[in-house]
């Protein structure tokens, strides 16, 4: 038997995962001491295999609690511990951009690998590495939200145009567009700092320019009178999306919608995008947010069933 364990801050998806897999579910109970430390209470009896399901946005305290949980489960005799973290933290800091900066991706990846036998996540932000196994020292499985996005979008649009705001987004955009033969275009992005980016849509001069060094999939498409869907993995400050929306609006589309896997939309990002005229802002439940519109739980359940 395998038991699914969940925490109150990601309870419903964890319970849905247990239901999809027809596995029992139990809560990990946390108690916060007055000094800020946390007591972790596990079920008294655990089977040989457990799956801990907790997403890792706002991760610092969650990481400590997860490590305590995994170590305590191991001490109770659990042999195989899977971490299902639909959003996997610290994957973006994958290089030292300045002298002295810690490469958090490697450090946190090793920590998780030390405590968990297997880590499963959705659309980890991997830029300078190709495979999650390069970051996580145990078994690592990176799944994608693109099938769930594709199915969801099909219910809302007939022939939309998909726009990816940067070259990294091409993989998701292509996967969503392919089953329906939808048109897509991939923009280019230059990041200046946390909140400043410049997004440029493909122009005709980009297309077919083998020597430009730019994305080969860059197709300049007219967005005029089209339903445009901006697709990305993460919306954090929302500045990437804002910049892309500004560029798309210059072409007078019928509508602009946004779909992302991981919704942070910090501060007033949703308000700003809505005031700019974005019709729909949708996200998966990998991070709990008011924009959640479709679930990645079945994607995870299918993988767990087949492994
Ligand atoms: O909402 P925002 O604050 O704009 O952040 C979200 C963007 O950041 C990430 O890419 P990033 O620019 O970090 O690119 P890279 O890590 O692939 O260089 C991500 O793929 C989004 O495009």
SS3 sequence, 6-26? Answer: ECHHHHHHHHHHHHHHCCCEE
pLDDT category at 216 given cuts 50, 70, 90 is: low
Whether residue 46 is predicted with pLDDT greater than 80 in this model: the reply is yes
| Pocket lining: 236 vs ligand 1, CB cutoff 6 Å | yes
| Pocket lining: 167 vs ligand 1, CB cutoff 6 Å | no
Q: Ligand 1, residues 166, 188, 287: which to mutate, most atoms within 8 A of Cβ?
A: 166
pLDDT category at 129 given cuts 50, 70, 90 is: confident
| Pocket lining: 191 vs ligand 1, CB cutoff 6 Å | yes
Compute, in angstroms, the gap from residue 237 CA to the centroid of ligand 1: 9
Q: What per-residue confidence (pLDDT) applies to 126?
A: 86
pLDDT category at 255 given cuts 50, 70, 90 is: very high
Compute, in angstroms, the gap from residue 95 CA to the centroid of ligand 1: 14
Please, what's the b/e burial string for 132-152 (b: 16 or more CB within 10 A of its CB; e: otherwise)?
bbebbbbbbbbbbbbbbbbeb
Whether residue 204 is predicted with pLDDT greater than 70 in this model: the reply is no
Q: What per-residue confidence (pLDDT) applies to 307?
A: 83
Tell how far CA 211 is from the center of its chain.
33
Work out the average pLDDT over 122-135.
91
Q: What per-residue confidence (pLDDT) applies to 12?
A: 98
Q: What per-residue confidence (pLDDT) applies to 53?
A: 98
Q: What per-residue confidence (pLDDT) applies to 97?
A: 87
CATH of range 146-294; options 3.30.830.10, 3.20.20.70, 3.40.50.1820, 3.40.50.2020: 3.40.50.2020
% pLDDT > 70, the chain: 95
% pLDDT > 90, the chain: 90
Q: What per-residue confidence (pLDDT) applies to 217?
A: 54
Work out the average pLDDT over 199-213.
61
Whether residue 83 is predicted with pLDDT greater than 90 in this model: the reply is yes
Whether residue 127 is predicted with pLDDT greater than 90 in this model: the reply is no
| Rounded Cα distance, 183 and 131, in Å | 28
Nearest residue (by CA) to ligand 1, atom 10, is: 234
Chain position carrying tokens 């109970």: 29
Helix H or strand E encompassing 183: strand 183-186
Architecture of domain 2-143: 3-Layer(aba) Sandwich (3.40)
pLDDT category at 42 given cuts 50, 70, 90 is: very high
Ligand 1 atom closest to Cα of 127? 17
Question: Quick one: tokens of 202?
Answer: 């493909």
Work out the average pLDDT over 39-62.
98
Whether residue 197 is predicted with pLDDT greater than 70 in this model: the reply is yes
Compute, in angstroms, the gap from residue 41 CA to the centroid of ligand 1: 37
| Pocket lining: 190 vs ligand 1, CB cutoff 6 Å | no
Compute, in angstroms, the gap from residue 260 CA to the centroid of ligand 1: 12
Helices (H), the chain: 11-21, 59-75, 104-115, 146-154, 170-177, 239-249, 269-275, 297-306
Residue ranges of the chain that CATH labels 3.40.50.2020: 2-143, 146-294
Other CB atoms within a 10 A radius of the CB of residue 162 amount to 26
Question: Quick one: tokens of 197?
Answer: 């980016």
Whether residue 251 is predicted with pLDDT greater than 80 in this model: the reply is yes
Spatial contact of 232 and 165, defined as CB atoms under 8 Å apart: yes
Nearest residue (by CA) to ligand 1, atom 15, is: 127
pLDDT category at 303 given cuts 50, 70, 90 is: very high
């Amino acid at each position: 038997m395998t038991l699914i364990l969940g925490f109150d801050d990601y309870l419903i998806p964890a319970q849905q995962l247990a239901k999809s897999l027809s596995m029992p579910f139990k809560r990990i109970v946390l108690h916060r001491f007055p000094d800020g430390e946390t007591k972790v209470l596990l079920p008294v009896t655990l089977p040989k295999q457990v799956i801990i399901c907790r997403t890792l946005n706002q991760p610092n305290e969650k990481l400590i609690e997860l490590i305590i949980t995994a170590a305590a489960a191991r001490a109770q005799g659990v042999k195989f511990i899977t971490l299902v973290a639909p959003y996997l933290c610290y994957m973006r800091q994958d290089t030292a951009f300045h002298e002295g900066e810690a490469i958090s991706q490697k450090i946190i990846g090793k920590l998780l690998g030390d405590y968990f036998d297997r880590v499963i996540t959705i659309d980890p932000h991997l830029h300078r590495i190709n495979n999650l196994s390069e970051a996580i020292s145990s078994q690592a499985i990176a799944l994608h939200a693109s099938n769930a996005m594709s199915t969801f979008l099909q219910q809302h649009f007939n022939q939309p145009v998909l726009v990816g705001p940067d070259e990294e987004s091409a993989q998701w955009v292509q996967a969503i567009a392919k089953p329906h033969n939808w048109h897509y275009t991939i923009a280019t992005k230059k990041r200046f700092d946390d909140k400043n980016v410049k997004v440029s849509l493909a122009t005709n001069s980009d297309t077919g320019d083998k020597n430009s060094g730019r994305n080969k999939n860059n197709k300049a498409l007219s967005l005029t009178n089209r339903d445009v869907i901006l697709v990305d993995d993460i919306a954090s400050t929302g500045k990437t999306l804002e910049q892309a929306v500004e560029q798309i609006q210059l072409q007078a589309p019928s509508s602009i919608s946004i779909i992302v896997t991981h919704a942070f939309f910090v501060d007033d990002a949703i308000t700003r995008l809505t005031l700019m005229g974005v019709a729909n802002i949708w996200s998966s439940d990998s991070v709990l947010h008011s924009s959640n519109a479709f679930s990645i739980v079945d994607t995870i359940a299918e993988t767990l069933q087949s492994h």
